[in-house]
Amino acid sequence: MGEANQLGEAVENMHGGSATLTQTVPVRETFEGKTVWEGVVHVFDLAGHPTATRAYAWSSPIEGSTKRRFFAVLHTERINSPIEAVRAAIVAERKKSQ
């Protein structure tokens, strides 16, 4: 199963609805001049979800493991692009670890 299929399933499992891949976008997020995340964000149209019509998904390696962690972020008024989705996830992760 390809990564796009896995990410589509992650979107559906985390948020519900039916995800259809529409595009992939390379994203590089930097903070204070250092790259904090770089990869490809998959953009999905989302059918059957009560509030969102789009979702952004990607995966990152888990440190010390061969497994990957999947992220799926719903499109909102504030989170309206792949880079904003990555930023929101980074902020959420930082808050969890504090």
68 contacts: CB under 8 Å, gap ≥ 6: 59, 60, 61, 62
The per-residue pLDDT for range 17-71, each reduced to its tens digit, is 999 999 999 999 998 999 989 999 999 999 999 999 999 999 988 889 999 899 9
The whole-number pLDDT of residue 25 equals: 97
* Beta bridge pairs of residue 1: none
> Could you list the residue range(s) of the whole structural domain that residue 22 is in?
3-97
Does residue 96 or residue 66 have the better pLDDT? 66
The answer, yes or no, to whether residue 1 has pLDDT greater than 80, is no
Q: How many domains does the chain have?
A: 1
The whole-number pLDDT of residue 46 equals: 97
Global pTM value:
0.91
The whole-number pLDDT of residue 61 equals: 85
